[in-house]
Structure 1
Amino acid sequence: MTNVKTNSIKAWLLAARPKTLTGAAIPVMLGCALAFIYGHFQLTPALLCFLFAFLMQIDANFINDLFDFLKGSDREDRLGPERACAQGWISAKAMKAGIACTTLLAGITGLCLLYYGGLEMIPVGIACMIFAFLYTAGPYPLAYHGWGDLLVLVFFGFVPVGCTYYVMAHDWNMSVTMASLACGLIIDTLLMINNFRDREQDAISGKKTIVVRLGTKAGLILYFLLGLAACWCCFYFLEIGKIYAVLLPQLYLIPHILTTQHMARIYRGKALNGILGETSRNMLIFGLLLTLGLIL
């Protein structure tokens, strides 16, 4: 993609990685569905939660783009989608300004949420911002030491699902816990395919992901088990009489199994970017099915 003017609107849109916003939307969607079934849903805080999630996702994408570039991780042999700083679409100086802007906007949105969620939301918001930086920045970048999967469970599962519910209900229950766990597991499939694709380059860069540590076969098995475990979590909803929240998400296993088989056949190279797209689609299918199952 050579026709991207440096620091242009097109460059910023590419850097924001709009396809990744699915991962920000699904947890908030599930939190809203839980608030609805327990009689606590409110439109304004729901919209603010979506906005905060989108801004933090874009912020994390910008930070990841910049610091991977500064660390030299985005080399010429990169297999994944092109990065803005590495391609020269956005200068490092402009990206730093972009990070400051999105962090500020996310902070303002978070302050608006305090009206609904209370002061206890302050440490949660601060943690979101700190860990967005610590993921790839600082003297001990967490993504480079195998902590990425745990962070996904926390910051794409328990934090967004639980806090979306909490700002409306001021409560937490087992349904929230199981939905958060299922959400974190399903979104971790996206990180797993990224790490599976980049395993050889990550090993050279010293990025010790689970796939690098445990091996290629383990990465493939874990990818499948993450989706399976997310579906198993849904069986909890039998306890609250939500049979559709149990049955509908099981339909996700059909595309998930097909994608896992496709992933195993491709095994390595840039062709695995197609699996990235399939995984993102499957995640959205799961999120929609569970949301629908909870509401019915």
Structure 2
Amino acid sequence: MQELMEGSKYPKTSWQVWWKLLRPHTLTAAFIPVVIGTALALELGEVNWLLFAAMLIASLLIQSATNMFNEYYDYKRGLDTAESVGIGGAIVREGIDAKFILKLAFIFFASALALGIYICINSSWWIGAVGIISMAAGYFYTGGPYPIAYSPFGELVAGLFMGLIIILIAFYIQTGTITLESILISIPISILCGAILTANNIRDLEGDKRSGRRTIAILLGHHHSIHFLAGMFIVSYLWIIGMILFVSSTPFLLLSFLSISKAVEAVKGFVGKKKPIEMMPAMKATAQTHTSFGFLAAVGLLLGYFI
């Protein structure tokens, strides 16, 4: 790392800046699905903790690299300025060399690929193909000539890869199979992961519109986007009830409802707000909803196994 930092514009930048570059509030989107998939796998046998650790670190590396690609390409396209609101902007505000960030992102991808090889050796090489596709989605989310983040499909892609795909991989490498319950539990996590993006796009709606983006928030408008976000929360909580009633999932999954106050806070936090800085608390509450919902669901799965 030290050798790499010598190529950056400001090699002595404080660790807080590098930490912010990783966008830590988004890393739970990689952490939670791995924990849920592994917790569910306990029902079918013992867990290989080395595989769990490899999967967890690989997911965090891919998410971090995706954030760096976001940082780099938002800068290249002129979306980030010194006045931009949000945790991004390490290039425009902190002076970190853009090419260094891009290089670091690819190093993170390479590290995740090495861990992926270990996972494949101990599970299935099909996992490698899925992992490559996931990394490609991470890059093309903001990279390439037609970034996914600039389209109405950002929530769908983010939810698919940071919810369903990670949960199923985490479950499969431990059990060698996919079950109906493993698919169903991934749905609300996928939706809430997409909700983080929706909240971000509501905050950035006006700036994104000027830059030519076509996000769901732009297509729906501010008012209807809030309704859309609220609907995502409602479906996620109702989904848990449906799993308990119709799939015989453990009733301990109801612990996830303890996070509902954060969902309400998120929706209320957007109502009547117009300035991006005013919507930051609502965006934070949305991310906290995903984290607390997922963590409590994982605890519920573990309680269902041990009790």
1:266 equivalent in structure 2: 273
Name the CA distance, whole Å, in 1 between partners of 2:293 and 2:172. Answer: 22
| RMSD, aligned α-carbons | 1.7
Q: Is the aligned partner of 1:137 residue 2:116?
A: no
Instruction: State how 1:205-220 maps to structure 2 within 5 Å.
Output: 205-220=211-226
Q: Percent identity?
A: 25
1:83 Cα deviation from its structure 2 partner:
1.4
CA distance in 1, matches of 2:148, 2:249: 40
Q: Specify the code of the residue in structure 1 equivalent to 2:286.
A: T
Partner Cα separation in structure 1 for residue 252 and residue 139 of structure 2: 39
Matches within 5 A, 1:22-101: 22-101=28-107
AA of the residue aligned to 1:223:
L
Unpaired runs of at least 5, structure 1 = none
In the other structure, the counterpart of 2:4 is: none
Partner of 1:240, secondary structure, is: coil
- Are residues 1:6 and 2:10 paired? yes
Shift of 1:22: 1.2
Relative to structure 1, is the Cα distance of residues 248 and 197 closer, same or farther in structure 2, using a 3 angstrom cutoff? same
| Matched residue type, 1:60 | T
Aligned mates of 1:74, 1:173 — CA distance in 2: 43
SS at 1:117 equivalent: coil
Aligned partners of 1:258 and 1:140: how far apart in 2? Answer: 34
1:242 aligns with 2:250: yes
Task: From the superposition, tell whether residues 77 and 212 of structure 1 become closer, same or farther in structure 2 (CA, over 3 Å).
Answer: farther
Query: In 1, distance between residues paired with 2:10 and 2:282?
Result: 29
Provide the C-alpha distance between the structure 1 equivalents of 2:18 and 2:69, rounded to a whole number of angstroms: 13
Aligned partners of 1:175 and 1:237 also within 8 Å: no
Please identify, of 107-116 and 265-274, the stretch whose mean Cα deviation from structure 2 is larger.
265-274
Contact 2:188 2:237 in 1 (8 A): yes
Contact preservation (8 Å) 2:58, 2:116: yes
The one-letter amino acid of 1:137's match is G
Give the Å deviation of 1:147.
Answer: 1.5
Pair 1:229–1:285, CA change in 2 (3 A)? same
Q: Is the 8 A contact 1:77 1:201 kept in 2?
A: no
CA positional deviation for 1:94: 1.0
* Superposition map of 1:176-255 within 5 A: 176-235=182-241, 236-238=243-245, 239-245=247-253, 247-255=254-262
Check conservation: 2:33, 2:163, Cα contact below 8 A.
Answer: yes
Sort the Cα spacing of 1:65 and 1:168 in 2 relative to 1 into closer, same or farther, 3 A. Answer: same
Tell me if structure 2 keeps the 8 A contact 1:12–1:90.
no
Choose from 102, 113, 122 the match for 1:107: 113
In structure 2, stretches of 5+ residues that fail to align are: 1-8
The structure 1 residue matched to 2:179, chosen from 173, 181, 205, is 173
Question: Contact 1:145/1:207 (CA < 8 Å) preserved in 2?
Answer: yes
Partner AA of 1:199 in structure 2: L
CA contact (8 A) 2:23 2:88 kept: no
* Cα distance, 1:132 vs structure 2: 1.0
Counterpart for residue 298 of structure 2: 291
CA deviations on 1:155-182 (whole Å, 9 max, x unpaired) are 1111111100011111111111111111
How far has the Cα of 1:144 moved from its partner?
0.8
Partner deviation per Cα, 1:105-144 (whole Å, 9 max, x = no partner): 1111111111222111111111011111111111111111
Q: Is the 8 A contact 2:31 2:60 kept in 1?
A: yes
Instruction: Tell me the CA shift for residue 255 of structure 1.
Output: 2.4
Matched, 1:116 2:111: no
Residue 256 of structure 1 is aligned with which of 263, 272, 276? 263
TM-score by length of 2: 0.90
Give the Cα separation in 2 of the matches to 1:9 and 1:161.
Answer: 34
User: Superposed, which structure 2 residues align to 1:146-157 within 5 Å?
Assistant: 146-157=152-163
Distance in 2, matches of 1:250 and 1:232, equals 10
Residue 237 to residue 41, structure 1, CA distance change in 2 (3 Å):
farther
- Equivalent-residue separation in structure 2 for 1:75 and 1:241 (angstroms): 48
Report the Cα distance in structure 2 between the residues aligned to 1:198 and 1:241, rounded to whole angstroms.
38
